[in-house]
């Protein structure tokens, strides 16, 4: 027989742990400058990268509380991001004062496009690699636009990515308490991510490599499932591979999504870390359900053509160990 007092004590202990984790997350968000795109004149010693952005999110007016209504359609932009000559792999050197391209990540140029087709044509025209491929990155939970733009520029620099890099910026609330809003945004964003994939691969020669982080991984899986059901993209020919970094997906949901895929991109990789504290918080929010990105064994993907890469040993204590793949110098 159970004791009601024991149940209440257990519940209160869990809630104290949950509230402590939320408080830490909010403190980190409040204490750090959150992802502002800062402009500065270029310097000859810096490296520059073009980051192409399909931004499906509205600006939050100054002083507004809460997440804004989601826009009717994405906006299309290009940012030229300058990487400082003193850049250390795995880091984003944010401006701490007046933006300066010598020590900081800054933006030195920008352009807007009037339609998704003109945007896709510009992306293809920028490809000097000869590989006819585009890297398409889908941001994760609690990520603001500037953070994602600079994170992708850092990834492009650190991994020497030679192909055009495109960010799909879905409408994350960009706050620690916006988890449910963000999960709804993922579902609302499926059609626009599908449309972006269609347009980036419309040329018969072009392919994409899909990379998703955290909740962005769930958006990728939902969109692949939708593409398969509608047959809107030839997955075997057009998607060169999929990499899911710290995927914030329920393991059973992943299996359900996987059952819809007759064709799997090759390679298909999961990068996971057992101690991912952000995914522990996510697990608490959804009733102690384990998240795919913290499961280091293959049981969650048994029978699927999926490679699991365990990054647990690369822990650096940064960002709740939720971005090991992009922040660990190893």
DSSP string, 167-231: EEE-----STT-HHHHHHHHHHTHHHHHHHHHHHT-STT-EEEEEEETHHHHHHHHHHHHHHHHT
Determine how β-strand 165-169 pairs with β-strand 207-213. Answer: unpaired
Enumerate residues 6+ apart whose C-beta is below 8 A from 174.
34, 35, 60, 67, 142, 143, 144
Low-confidence spans in the chain with pLDDT less than 50:
1-2, 4, 7-12, 14-32, 62
The tally of CA atoms less than 13 A away on the side-chain side of residue 126 is: 20
Residue 173 confidence (pLDDT): 78
Alpha carbon separation from 295 to 120, 218, 276, 309 (Å, rounded): 36, 15, 10, 10
**82-99 confidence digits (pLDDT tens):** 999 999 998 899 998 899
**208-257 confidence digits (pLDDT tens):** 999 998 889 999 999 999 999 999 999 999 999 999 988 888 888 898 99
Alpha carbon separation from 3 to 6, 11, 13, 287 (Å, rounded): 5, 13, 16, 21
- The count of residues in the chain is 330
Residue 9 pairs in a beta bridge with none
Residue 315 confidence (pLDDT): 63
Residue 1 confidence (pLDDT): 47
pTM (2 decimals)?
0.83
Residue 276 confidence (pLDDT): 62
Residue 60 confidence (pLDDT): 59
Cβ neighbour number for residue 50 with a 10 Å cutoff: 18
Q: Of 169, 184, 178, which Cα lies nearest the Cα of 29?
A: 178
Cβ neighbour number for residue 204 with a 10 Å cutoff: 8
Residue 172 confidence (pLDDT): 84
Distance CA 105, CA 101 (A): 6
């Amino acid at each position: 027989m159970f004791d009601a007092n024991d149940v209440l004590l257990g519940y209160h202990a869990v809630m104290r742990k949950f509230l402590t984790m939320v408080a830490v997350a909010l403190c980190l968000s409040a204490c750090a400058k959150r992802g502002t795109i800062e402009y500065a004149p270029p310097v000859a010693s810096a490296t520059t990268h073009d980051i192409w952005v399909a931004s499906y999110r509205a600006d939050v007016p100054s002083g507004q509380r809460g997440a804004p209504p989601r826009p009717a359609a994405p906006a299309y932009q290009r940012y030229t991001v300058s990487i400082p000559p003193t850049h250390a792999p795995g880091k984003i050197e944010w401006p701490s004062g007046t933006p300066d391209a010598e020590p900081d990540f800054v933006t030195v140029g920008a352009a807007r496009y009037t339609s998704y087709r003109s945007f896709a044509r510009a992306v293809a025209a920028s490809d000097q690699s000869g590989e006819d491929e585009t890297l398409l990155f889908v941001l994760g939970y609690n990520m603001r636009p500037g953070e994602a733009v600079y994170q992708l520029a850092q990834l492009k620099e650190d991994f020497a990515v030679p192909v055009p890099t495109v960010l799909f910026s879905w409408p994350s609330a960009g706050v620690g308490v916006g988890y449910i809003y963000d999960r709804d945004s993922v579902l609302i964003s499926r059609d626009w991510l599908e449309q972006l994939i269609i347009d980036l691969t419309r040329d018969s020669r072009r392919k994409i490599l899909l990379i998703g982080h955290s909740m962005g991984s769930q958006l990728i899986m939902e969109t692949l499932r939708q593409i398969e059901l509608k047959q809107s993209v030839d997955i075997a020919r057009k998607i060169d591979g999929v990499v899911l970094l710290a995927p914030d997906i329920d393991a059973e949901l992943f299996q359900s999504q996987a059952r819809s895929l007759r064709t799997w991109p090759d390679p298909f990789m999961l990068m996971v870390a057992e101690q991912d504290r952000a995914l522990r918080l996510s697990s608490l929010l959804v009733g102690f359900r384990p998240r795919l990105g913290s499961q280091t064994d293959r049981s969650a993907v048994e029978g699927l053509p999926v490679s699991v890469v365990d990054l647990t040993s690369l822990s650096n204590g940064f960002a709740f160990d939720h971005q090991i793949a992009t922040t660990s110098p190893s």
